[in-house]
Structure 1
Amino acid sequence: MRDIIGNPFRPVTPDPEWLTSTVTALASQMYTSSDFSAMPILADALQDAGCDNTDVLNHCRDADATHVRGCWVVDMMLGKE
């Protein structure tokens, strides 16, 4: 459930600076293919773009998380929230 809605007690608003071509391309590829193996790479791209939000970065890097289409981070990067 957390993969889809995130933490409702700590909502995240994306900074437009995070939405680089690399971030949006990675998010789009994962959304289209339903292959979320690039989540740690997305975290790196977000961090390179200035994202320091621990909820976002930790979600992307959580090796135990099961990511699905509708993932709140991917949807947020694509403006589908």
Structure 2
Amino acid sequence: MRILADALQDAGCDNEDILNHCRGEGPHVRGYWVGDLVLGKE
């Protein structure tokens, strides 16, 4: 997830909630809000 945070930031993402979540300890499970946001799911 930390790699995803770096990639999002490199792509111009400056949303601290998203970046901090990706860099945090988790939990990171299928269907989590950041993944849904990146994939365009509601």
The TM-score, its normalising length taken from structure 2, stands at 0.90
Higher relative contact order (CA closer than 8 Å, sequence separation 6+): 1
Task: Give me the CA root mean square deviation.
Answer: 0.7
Structure 1 ranges of 4+ moved more than 6 A:
none
The higher radius of gyration belongs to: 1
| Fraction of identical pairs, as percent | 74
Aligned pair partner of 1:58 in 20, 26, 30: 20
Structure 1 portions without partners, runs of 5+: 1-38
| Superposition deviation, residue 53 in structure 1 | 0.6
Structure 2 portions without partners, runs of 5+: none
Kindly tell me the number of residue pairs found equivalent between the two proteins: 42
Tell me the residue number matched to 1:42.
Answer: 4
